[in-house]
């Protein structure tokens, strides 16, 4: 009997559910996508309807399979990647959520996190989980549901409730309640997993007052967890790969050796560096997270977030009106040879890693009467590369590793000017893949390896996904001047954010 020919990757994101069918060469055969509702009950609150997440994800899985003219029998395995930190609590008996999913962006538990910090719990949490104490992660969200949904805590203590990140919720539904599992990458984002032992931590569960009976079983990122039982597919399909979206992109980019880095240029940037089998806690305000667990071997990563990347270009378009579409920014910036001494620090929502200055605000330095819209556009593009450089330098310092190259994906990686300048300021190669759907590809790779569709990581590396390589071209002396001026601009901005506001 011939081996089935395709891997189905489900990419459950923050605004849409997607399904992509990949062939043995890692090429896309078919795909489908459906957006779902964003719910904002109060300022700073963000929720999703878990039943809508399930129905859209099941719907696009069926649609992509039908589009390719395939049924369940031609799919070797199913891989899942998902928005991280978003959490659902549901009734084990009925399978119904007791509240909406609370999304990673939600800030309702910020005061509670401040309280934990004031009580001196921050260092314990950082040492055990590799995370900064923040409302971003899942634990405080679960506690809020237990404290604010009528009867929830009583039911939880009686073992009647289950909690899970979105991967767990989807698998519960795909297996009709047979499997309650998660993988190490998603578990490492809950603030309840000890990333050194890879076990749920009793001390953290007590701190957040969450019964252990609610938790899913923690599994590897690449193994056969079970089979689908729903009517979505004509036959049963092995569920064989799980990873949170940024870890999936790291694996999809095949950053499998220590010192390899990927940067996803979206609204913000998510940068991850593989650091090897030891979880080093950052001294430079980065997160330590599980990269994946494969064949019993765990790999860790450092992670840094940049708040404003593509969002800077959107601001030029929507607020300044100097471009009509985001794609026009490169053409405008190319009208000038350089920024004319203009430096743009786009701290519209504060400065992210490695500064973590929530009070910083966006500022443009160095303007003169000769400054044009083109200079500002070019400075905006360069700001994305400079922010990436700052996070990378912090990663190199933490890991004690020098990067060989930067692998890139995401919308803004299509900007040639940005990618070239990125190579110049880092003085290293920037590699852009042929298939930019690296998140879904990572989930497909993990699932395919588990069922023998691909035999090894070496085989994946021979698929040759690299497309365009940008090598440094600028003179190091001129880049050193630009870098020094950028750092001067950041210092000036920090001085402003510390100044009295009267």
Nearest-5° Cα angle at 285, 188 to 366: 135
Tell whether 245 is in a known binding site: yes
Tell whether 84 is in a known binding site: yes
Query: Which residues face 290 on adjacent strands?
Result: 300
2: which DSSP letter?
Answer: P
> Cβ distance 299 to 276 under 8 Å?
yes
Question: How far is it, in rounded angstroms, from Cα 379 to Cα 345?
Answer: 9
- Alpha-carbon dihedral 98, 101, 106, 108, rounded to 10 degrees: 0
CB atoms within 10 A of CB 484: 10
Distance of CA 428 to the CA centre of its chain: 23
Tell whether 314 is in a known binding site: yes
Tell whether 363 is in a known binding site: no
3-state DSSP assignment of residue 163: strand
Tokens, residue 427: 């003085």
Tell whether 372 is in a known binding site: no
* C-alpha pair distances (Å), 310 with each of 299, 382, 390: 29, 12, 17
Residues 63-86, buried b or exposed e (16+ Cβ, 10 A)?
Answer: bbbeebebebebbbbbbbbbbbbb
Question: How far is it, in rounded angstroms, from Cα 334 to Cα 312?
Answer: 17
DSSP 260-313: -EEEEESSSEEEEEEEESS-PPPSSS-EEEEEEEETTEEEEEEEEEES-SHHHH
Tell whether 136 is in a known binding site: yes
DSSP count for the chain of H helices, then E strands: 16, 23
* C-alpha pair distances (Å), 442 with each of 34, 222, 245: 20, 11, 9
Nearest to 220 by CA among 456, 14, 461, 449: 449
Question: How far is it, in rounded angstroms, from Cα 49 to Cα 297?
Answer: 35
Tell whether 288 is in a known binding site: no
173: which DSSP letter?
Answer: H
Question: How far is it, in rounded angstroms, from Cα 380 to Cα 163?
Answer: 42
> Cβ distance 408 to 322 under 8 Å?
no
Tell whether 415 is in a known binding site: yes
Tell whether 177 is in a known binding site: no
Sign of the torsion angle spanned by Cα atoms 111, 14, 436, 76: positive
Tell whether 411 is in a known binding site: yes
Tokens, residue 78: 């199913």
Residue 125 neighbours by CB under 8 Å, 6+ apart: 116, 131, 133, 191, 204
- Is the N-terminal amide bond of 26 cis, ω within 30° of 0? no
> Cβ distance 19 to 8 under 8 Å?
yes
Q: Summarize the annotated binding site for ATP as residue ranges.
A: 14-16, 267, 310, 314, 411
Q: Summarize the annotated binding site for sn-glycerol 3-phosphate as residue ranges.
A: 14, 84-85, 136, 245
Q: Summarize the annotated binding site as residue ranges.
A: 14-16, 18, 84-85, 136, 245-246, 267, 310, 314, 411, 415
Q: Summarize the annotated binding site for ADP as residue ranges.
A: 14, 18, 267, 310, 411, 415
Q: Summarize the annotated binding site for glycerol as residue ranges.
A: 84-85, 136, 245-246
């Amino acid at each position: 009997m011939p081996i089935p020919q395709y891997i189905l990757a489900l990419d459950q994101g923050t605004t849409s559910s997607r399904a992509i069918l990949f062939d043995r060469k890692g090429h896309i055969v078919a795909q489908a996508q459906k957006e779902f509702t964003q719910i904002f009950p109060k300022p700073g609150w963000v929720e999703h309807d878990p039943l809508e997440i399930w129905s859209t994800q099941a719907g696009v899985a069926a649609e992509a399979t039908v589009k390719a003219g395939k049924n369940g029998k031609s799919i070797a395995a199913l891989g899942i990647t998902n928005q991280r930190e978003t959490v659902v609590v549901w009734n084990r008996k009925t399978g119904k959520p007791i509240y909406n999913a609370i999304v990673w962006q939600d800030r309702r538990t910020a005061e509670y996190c401040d309280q934990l910090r004031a009580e001196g719990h921050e260092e314990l949490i950082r040492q055990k989980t590799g995370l900064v104490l923040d409302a971003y992660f899942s634990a405080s969200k679960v506690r809020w549901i237990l404290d604010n949904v009528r009867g929830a805590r009583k039911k939880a203590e009686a073992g009647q409730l289950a909690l899970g990140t979105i991967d767990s919720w989807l698998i519960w539904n795909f297996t009709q309640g047979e499997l309650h599992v998660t993988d190490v990458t998603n578990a490492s984002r809950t603030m309840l997993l000890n990333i050194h032992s890879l076990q749920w931590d009793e001390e953290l569960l007590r701190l957040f007052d969450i019964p252990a009976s609610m938790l899913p079983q923690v599994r590897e990122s690449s193994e056969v967890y079970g089979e689908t039982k729903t009517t979505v597919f004509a036959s049963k399909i092995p569920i064989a790969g799980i990873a949170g979206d940024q870890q999936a992109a790291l694996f999809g980019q095949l950053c499998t050796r220590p010192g390899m880095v990927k940067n996803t240029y979206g609204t913000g940037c998510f940068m991850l560096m593989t650091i090897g089998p030891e979880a080093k806690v950052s001294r430079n305000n980065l997160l330590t997270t599980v990269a994946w667990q494969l064949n019993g071997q765990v790999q860790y990563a450092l992670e840094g977030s940049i708040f404003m990347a593509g969002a800077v270009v959107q601001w030029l378009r929507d607020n300044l009106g100097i471009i009509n579409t985001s794609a026009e920014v490169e053409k405008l910036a190319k009208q000038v040879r350089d920024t004319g001494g203009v430096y743009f620090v786009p701290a519209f929502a504060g400065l992210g890693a490695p500064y973590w200055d929530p009070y910083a605000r966006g500022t443009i330095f160095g303007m003169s009467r000769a400054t044009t819209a083109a200079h500002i556009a070019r400075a905006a593009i360069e700001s994305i590369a400079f922010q990436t450089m700052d996070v990378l330098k912090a990663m190199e310092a933490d890991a004690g590793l020098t990067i060989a190259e930067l692998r890139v994906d995401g919308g803004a990686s299509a900007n040639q000017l940005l990618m070239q300048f990125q190579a110049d300021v880092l003085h290293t190669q920037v590699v852009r893949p042929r298939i930019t759907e690296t998140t879904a590809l990572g989930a497909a790779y993990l699932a395919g390896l588990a069922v023998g569709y691909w035999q090894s990581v070496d085989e994946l590396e021979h698929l040759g996904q690299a497309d365009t390589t940008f090598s440094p071209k600028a003179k190091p002396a001129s880049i050193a001047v630009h870098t020094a001026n950028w750092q001067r601009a950041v210092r000036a901005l920090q001085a402003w954010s510390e100044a009295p506001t009267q």
